[in-house]
């Protein structure tokens, strides 16, 4: 099977029909979304296509980029783009295979069931200890070549820790990915091509400062085209300066070779389609490419740590509006600095003329991993409204204002969490109270986006102080309502300590109406007797 010729990409057409198309057909305006049998496959497909377009496009200027956004290339043009890289997309055969180790062969080790390619599959120890209680072994035993290709790429791009020498991905296990989405609304969805192309940069931008000189050989971009030793010394590391810049999309931390000699006919366990070449097993070996150094993946936001920038990963508290600022505009406070994904940075800081008039959303997704265990797959789309029309100065103003809103919300939810604890327990209680936070963030989300939309659509027509006062009132009302009606007031009276509940309620009300929350929102703080009122500037966001 050759991935440039085979119709292996599952997509959703504008009329709601599902289809499998070739890579060259992806510019078809009737295609509006990926439609894989698993959500993580859809996320991997988006990264695959962005990587393929970024690696192969000849677009070298902003003008050419804009023209291709509005007028997609036809299938023949895309085929011409991909053709020079055809050797990298052979999926079977005796030689180099897509995302498979160049040197391994099916006879080089004990076979592993094909289901182990899936991120959530129980590991060797879980099977040995019979601890696969929630996700059982044996659910997936045979995959068609299309699903096997998807599973293989999904594993390589998300690779979690897998035991001694089984490497994590270039961004660690289960990285957070953020993509711009062309938003035409539910009645008139934009073509998938526009979403993909929004996340591709023209070559002058992408290769700025590093044109890959000295690393033009194909294996520096597609590492499965040669032995690992051609890139990395034994026991060594792979850093950005050792490969071509496009390698970032094609990282291959795991050494895997699918066994194509032991295929059978039947039905694929994932997509349910018939195939006469179902793949049942593979072999693997440790000590693959060991990605270290200053890697910056264009599709992921990073946070500043002691040792430099590190990629963000989804956490157990999920994805929500509290992440909007850091993922969309980036943020910096006294405690934390987050840098948005570089593809979003390039798009929103570029020439307004080339991006104006495009409705946008942000698609964020990734695995929440506990070492090698997948705890959850998170996925969300966040509205951006007409942010593409905002100038850099307007974006900076918005960054500061929204930063104050979020600081206020974080303070309010901490007050609520503390009050619930104080009402329930006589001493400092330990445990997971994240359900309190989750409810608060959920109840305040609609109001946040209402304010945000008004602020973006009419930046000159909004009163900063009035908006902050309105947000403050909503935070106070929500926190008190949750305390009174959801978490404390709804409990059985005979199991409450009225004095403790009353004290917690008084403290919560006082904190919500106190100076600290007003200061976080950059609102005037009433003066104490004998002193003047003050307004502290909001912290840098």
Both tokens of 282, joined, read 């593979």
Distance of alpha carbon 3 from alpha carbon 91, whole angstroms: 7
The reported pLDDT for the residue numbered 48 is 98
CA–CA dist 458, 388 (Å, integer): 14
Predicted pLDDT at 223: 97
Q: Is the dihedral of CA 462, 468, 473, 477 positive or negative?
A: positive
What is the C-alpha separation between 455 and 390, in angstroms, rounded? Answer: 11
Tell me, rounded to whole angstroms, the distance of Cα 513 from its chain centroid: 36
* Token pair listed for 365: 């997704």
Calpha distance 361→382 (Å, rounded): 6
> 């270039």: which residue's tokens?
170
Residues 365-423 have pLDDT tens digits of: 999 998 888 999 999 999 999 888 888 889 999 999 999 999 999 999 999 999 999 99
Angle in degrees, 0-180, between the axes of helices 498-512 and 464-481, rounded to the nearest 10 = 170
CA 331 to chain centre: 17
pLDDT of residue 538: 54
> What gap in Å lies between CA 91 and CA 99, rounded to an integer?
8
Contact in structure between 471 and 447 (CB atoms under 8 Å): yes
Residue 18: name the closest of 42, 2, 1 by CA: 42
Say which DSSP state 264 is in. E
Contact 222, 85 (CB under 8 A): yes
| Cβ count near 2 (within 10 Å) | 15
The 3-state secondary structure of 505-526 reads HHHHHHHHCCHHHHHHCCCCEC
- Please give the pLDDT value at position 539: 53
Mention every residue, 6+ apart, whose C-beta is less than 8 A from residue 503: 422
* Residues 102, 224: Cα–Cα separation, whole Å: 5
Integer angstrom CA distances of residue 41 from 161, 248, 294, 419: 19, 19, 27, 42
> DSSP assignment, residue 447?
H
pLDDT at 333: 83
Quickly list DSSP for 349-400.
TS-HHHHTT--EEEEEEEEEEETTEEEEEEEEEEEEETGGG--HHHHHHHHH
**452 CB burial (10 A radius; 0-12, 13-18, 19+):** buried
- Give the per-residue pLDDT at 83: 97
Residue 454: helix, strand or coil by DSSP? Answer: helix
Cα-to-chain-centroid distance, residue 26: 22
Cα gap 218→216, rounded to integer Å: 6
> In this structure, what token pair is assigned to residue 253?
């931390």
Question: In this structure, what DSSP letter does residue 430 have?
Answer: -
In this predicted structure, what is the pLDDT of residue 176? Answer: 97
Please give the Cα distance from 87 to 221 (Å, whole number).
12
* Parts of the chain with a pLDDT under 50: none
> How far is the C-alpha of 488 from the C-alpha of 509, rounded, in Å?
14
Closest CA to 323 of 382, 400, 369, 389: 382
Q: Largest Cα–Cα distance in the chain?
A: 87
Calpha distance 424→495 (Å, rounded): 9
Instruction: Report CA-CA distances (Å) from 486 to 320, 321, 430.
Output: 21, 22, 20
Per-residue model confidence (pLDDT) at position 214: 84
């Amino acid at each position: 099977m050759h991935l440039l010729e085979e119709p292996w990409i599952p997509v959703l057409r504008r009329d709601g029909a599902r289809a499998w198309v070739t890579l060259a057909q992806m510019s078809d305006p009737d295609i509006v979304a990926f439609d894989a049998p698993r959500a993580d496959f859809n996320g991997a497909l988006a990264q695959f296509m962005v990587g393929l377009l970024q690696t192969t496009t000849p677009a070298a200027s902003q003008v050419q980029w804009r023209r291709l956004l509005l007028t997609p290339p036809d299938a023949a043009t895309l085929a011409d783009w991909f053709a020079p890289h055809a050797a990298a997309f052979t999926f079977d055969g005796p030689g180099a295979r897509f995302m498979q180790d160049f040197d391994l062969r099916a006879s080089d080790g004990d076979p592993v069931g094909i289901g182990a390619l899936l991120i959530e599959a129980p590991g060797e120890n879980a099977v040995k200890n019979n601890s696969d209680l929630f996700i059982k072994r044996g659910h997936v035993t045979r995959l068609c070549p299309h699903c096997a290709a998807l599973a293989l790429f999904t594993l390589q791009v998300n690779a979690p820790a897998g035991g001694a020498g089984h490497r994590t991905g270039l961004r660690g296990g289960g990285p957070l990915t953020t993509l711009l989405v062309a938003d035409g609304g539910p009645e008139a969805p934009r073509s998938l091509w526009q979403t993909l192309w929004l996340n591709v940069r023209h070559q002058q931008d992408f290769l700025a400062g590093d044109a890959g000189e000295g690393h033009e050989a194909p294996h520096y971009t597609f590492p499965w085209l040669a032995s690992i030793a051609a890139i990395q010394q034994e026991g060594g590391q792979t850093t950005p300066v050792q490969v071509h810049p496009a390698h970032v999309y094609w990282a291959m931390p795991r050494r895997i070779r699918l066994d194509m000699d032991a295929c059978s006919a039947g039905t694929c366990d994932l997509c349910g389609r018939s195939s006469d070449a179902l793949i049942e097993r593979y072999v693997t070996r440790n000590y693959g490419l060991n990605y270290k150094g200053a890697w910056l993946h264009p599709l992921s936001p990073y946070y500043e740590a002691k040792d430099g920038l590190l990629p963000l990963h989804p956490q157990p508290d999920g994805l929500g509006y509290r992440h909007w600022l850091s993922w969309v505009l980036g943020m910096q406070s006294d405690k934390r600095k987050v840098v948005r994904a570089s593809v979003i940075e390039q798009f929103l800081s570029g020439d307004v003329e080339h991006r104006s008039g495009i409705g946008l959303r942000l698609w964020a997704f990734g695995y929440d991993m506990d070492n090698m265990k997948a705890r959850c797959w998170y996925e969300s789309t966040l509205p951006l409204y007409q942010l593409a029309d905002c100038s850099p100065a307007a974006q900076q103003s918005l960054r500061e204002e929204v930063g104050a809103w979020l600081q206020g919300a974080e303070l309010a939810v901490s007050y609520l969490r503390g009050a619930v604890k104080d009402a329930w327990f006589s001493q400092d209680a330990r445990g997971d109270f994240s359900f309190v936070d989750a409810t608060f963030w959920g109840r305040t989300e609609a109001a946040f986006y209402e304010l945000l939309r008004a602020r973006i659509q009419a930046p000159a027509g909004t009163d900063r102080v009035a908006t902050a006062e309105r947000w403050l009132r909503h935070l106070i009302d929500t926190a008190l309502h949750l305390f009174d009606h959801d978490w404390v007031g709804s409990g059985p009276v005979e199991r409450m300590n009225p004095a403790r509940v009353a004290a917690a309620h008084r403290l919560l009300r006082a904190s919500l109406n106190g100076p600290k929350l007003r200061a976080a929102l950059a609102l005037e703080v009433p003066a104490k007797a004998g002193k003047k009122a003050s307004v502290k500037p909001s912290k840098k966001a």
